[in-house]
Amino acid sequence: MPPTIHALLEDPVIRALYRSVPRLPEPLTWGDPWMIWARTPTGQWGKKMFPTYAAAWGRAIECIKDPERFDDVAVVSRRYFFPPPALATWARGQDWCSRCRRPSEFRLRDESHHALRTAPALTEDEPFRCYYCGIRRAAMPEYEPARIY
C-alpha cells in the first residue's frame, strides 16, 4: 500500500511540492484539468474535478483535516505529467506517479478499481496501473532509480 497523504505531508520535500502551485501549459488549462480522489476509512472512493490546482488542493486540505471521513487523498493532474522533486525519495516497490504527483504502487488492477469503473476497455499489455488514478505504468516517464530509498 502506498503512503497516505498524511504520511507524505510529514516529508518536507513532498509538503513543499504540494504547497507550490504547479503550472500547466496554457493550452491545457481549459475546463477542469485537476481532480481529487478521496478514500474513506471503509475503502469507498469519491472524486471531484476542479478548474485550478488551488481549488483542488483547497478541497484536499478539507479532506485531510477530516480523517474520520477521509483517510487518504490524491490530487491528480488530468492533462500533464509532473516529475518528482529533485530530492524526493520513496520506498522500494513504489514508483512516482506523474499524474498524482506522489509515490504509488503500480500493479494489476481490474475493472472494479475506482478509477477504472467507467473505462470502456482495459488493455492487457503492460496492465500495471496506479493505485490512485489508474493510469498505466507504461505511460509514465522514467525517473532516476537513485530517488528510491
Question: For strand 102-104 and strand 95-97, is the pairing parallel, antiparallel, or unpaired?
Answer: antiparallel
Cα dist from 108 to 21, 66, 68, 129, 146, whole Å:
31, 30, 29, 6, 25
How confident is the model at residue 133, as a pLDDT? 86
Residue 146's pLDDT is what?
47
| SS3 state at 61 | helix
Side-chain-side CA neighbours of 91 within 13 Å: the count stands at 11
- pLDDT computed for residue 129 by the predictor: 84
Identity of the residue numbered 28: L
Report the distance separating Cα 97 and Cα 107, nearest Å. 12
Which residues, 6 or more positions from 79, have their beta carbon under 8 angstroms from its beta carbon?
24, 28, 33
Distance of CA 138 to CAs 26, 73, 125, Å? 26, 23, 9
Tell me the pLDDT tens digit for each residue of 118-130: 665 566 677 788 8
**Could you report the per-residue pLDDT of 3-28, keeping only the tens digit for each?**
999 999 999 999 999 999 999 999 99
